[in-house]
Amino acid sequence: MQVSPQPALRRAPPLCCSRGSPVRCSSAGASNSADAAALSASVERLRAGLGKPGGLPFLTDASLLADTLSYEGPLCSVSGREEYLRTHSAWSRKLPERLRDFEVASASLFALSPTRLVLRWRARFGAPLPPLAEERLAAAGAPPPARREDGLLPASLALTSDLELDASGRLVSHTERVSDGFDVAATVARFEWLQARRLSDPPPVWYYRVLKETSIAEAADASGAPLDDAQLQAGFVAMVGRNFGAGLLIGVAIYAALKAAKAALLVASVAPP
């Protein structure tokens, strides 16, 4: 019986190079390995710099920033590496100047994926306790919070940032938010921290923006139900109107009392002995 000759077996090309040469495949693999190494090195540099000058949360190392970097945070939004550097350099100087004993505490960096990170940290500083906050505590029957020897509140504010890196390990997106609640101590810390972040706005304009931001955020948290932006804005305007009206009435009362006292003195001065 004659056996038909079998066709010669053809060697299959490498899977990653089915339409190219094996040399190209090796080159691509080397490139991917280099990117992975650069990404890992960047993450380690970010982790090593936590809380240190030039490191997160006020990152000012330009070699770790992409040209198209964007930042979104409370009352601030910037685009581009230069603007990011300018803003975070300013905060790294201004917060210690404006907040007594400011420090970055409990900073931790977690990796959700090779290019997605989460930064958690606390801002700690001394803050004055406003009279309204004391009245709020008294009305609720709550004891006043402990104070430092200098009379300031030991303020602490929790913050969280979502960070995104590109394939070479440069930061391309930084989104920051306050992750604390709205008890008296946290509300005071939130207000003072936001006040200290003022950049170019005039102080009265920035004060109004901070007051609006904190009041609306607290109202949304206390409502226990979803509120749209129009409802929150209307509530803030009503609150400002009530406070302005109360202040106006107090001013009118003081003015009337002074006028009455002046008139009484005038009558007394011209009355016959």
Beta bridge partners of 72: 77, 175
Alpha-carbon distances, residue 77 vs 1, 140, 173, 192, 203 (angstroms): 85, 37, 11, 19, 19
pLDDT in tens, 181-200: 888 889 999 999 999 999 99
Written as one letter, the residue type at 117 is L
Model pLDDT for residues 134-149, shown as the tens digit of each residue: 777 777 777 878 899 9
Query: Which pLDDT tens digits describe the chain residue by residue (273 residues)?
Result: 444 454 444 444 444 444 444 445 455 555 678 788 989 999 999 999 999 999 999 999 999 999 999 999 999 999 999 999 999 999 999 999 999 999 999 999 999 999 999 999 999 999 998 887 777 777 777 787 889 999 999 999 999 999 999 999 999 999 999 999 888 889 999 999 999 999 999 999 999 999 999 988 888 887 766 555 554 455 444 444 444 443 444 454 454 555 555 555 555 555 555
Which residue shows structure tokens 């190209």? 24
At 225 the pLDDT is: 60
| Residue-range domain boundaries for the chain | 38-219
Order of strands, edge to edge, in the sheet holding 153-165?
A: 76-79, 65-73, 171-178, 153-165, 116-127, 100-113
User: For 199-228, what is each residue's pLDDT tens digit?
Assistant: 999 999 999 999 999 988 888 887 766 555
Angle at CA of residue 71, ends 66 and 73, nearest 5°: 160
C-alpha of 204 from chain center = 21
pTM of the model: 0.72
The predicted pLDDT at position 143 comes to: 82
Q: If one looks up domain 38-219 in CATH, what number appears?
A: 3.10.450.50
Helix (H, G, I), strand (E, B) or coil at 229: helix
